Amino acid sequence: MSAPTITPAPTHAPATHAAAPPLRLGFGRTVRHSLALAGRSITKFAKSPAQLTDVVLTPVISLLMFVYLFGGAIGGGDTHAYVQLIAPGVMVMTVFQASIGIGTSLNADASTGMFDRFRSMPIARSSPLIGAVLADVVRYVVCLVTLLAVALVMGYRITTDPLSTLAAFALLIGFGLSFSWLSVYIGMLAKTPGSVYGLMTVLILPLTFASNVFVKPATMSGWLRAWSDVNPVSLMADTTRALLNGGDVAGPLFGSLGWMAGLIAVFFPLAMRAYRKNAG
């Protein structure tokens, strides 16, 4: 008698699940996600207004100090004429310095694991950075309105029309946003929020004080005047003065727009690349 044949039970390969395709978001959804995250940052400002203290008090103190302490010497004894010169320039300095905040804030988010939370959400990778930069508009508006109010009390007068004034404020905000991408890039690379502030200050101070914000270029030495003429802070200050005080706006305007476009073209992709690397 032959031994019974035992047929082994068929084995089944373990079921495999195809990896989910990467989430693809259109431009419209990316914008909505960015605006939603901008609202998150604005809520943080509303809950903690003290975050705006430095960017409000610093330019106001600078305006008061230069007009009443140095205005007599720099302005030839005419503080009224000097405040007409310096107020638009300090507005440029205000948004320029306010751009530091975005880099320090994002650097702090990176250290707390916030980027990991963003990574786990079905949102565009660029939305956290774009949203944070858009939220900075609130900082710029608060700073500019406060500074303008103080300048008006000090005797500053806008001599152009409301449309030119709105154009000046829009350009100032755009100027601050363009430099924000430099701050974001440094914030993605630096180890601590304090180092972001230090690096940005090293960049901002020479650009601010080697400009025509506080003095007329005619009083500068030749090489310094040549730099001041192409300095983005000087060009934006001249644009703001022309729009608020009157004068030729075309030349400095095109120079300012060129700097703004160049900064965004260079530092937006660099910031995005550093963010993706930082977020894993």
| Per-residue pLDDT, 26 | 62
Contact, 267 vs 185, CB < 8 A?
Answer: yes
Contact, 143 vs 59, CB < 8 A?
Answer: yes
| Per-residue pLDDT, 174 | 94
Angle at alpha carbon of residue 213, lines to 210 and 216, rounded to 5°: 85
Is this model's pTM higher than 0.95 or not?
A: no
| Per-residue pLDDT, 16 | 41
Contact, 151 vs 63, CB < 8 A?
Answer: yes
| Per-residue pLDDT, 50 | 64
Angle at alpha carbon of residue 260, lines to 43 and 60, rounded to 5°: 55
What are the pLDDT tens digits along the chain (280 aa)?
Answer: 444 454 444 444 444 434 334 445 566 777 776 777 677 666 766 666 666 677 778 888 889 988 888 877 776 667 888 899 999 999 999 898 888 888 888 888 777 766 667 666 766 667 777 887 888 888 888 889 999 999 999 999 999 999 999 999 999 999 999 999 999 999 888 888 888 888 888 888 889 989 999 888 888 888 999 999 999 999 999 999 999 999 899 999 999 999 999 999 999 999 988 887 765 5
Query: CA 145 to CA 91: how far, in whole Å?
Result: 10
Per-residue DSSP letters for 207-231? HHHTSSSSS-GGGS-HHHHHHHHH-
| Per-residue pLDDT, 150 | 93
Query: CA 107 to CA 121: how far, in whole Å?
Result: 20
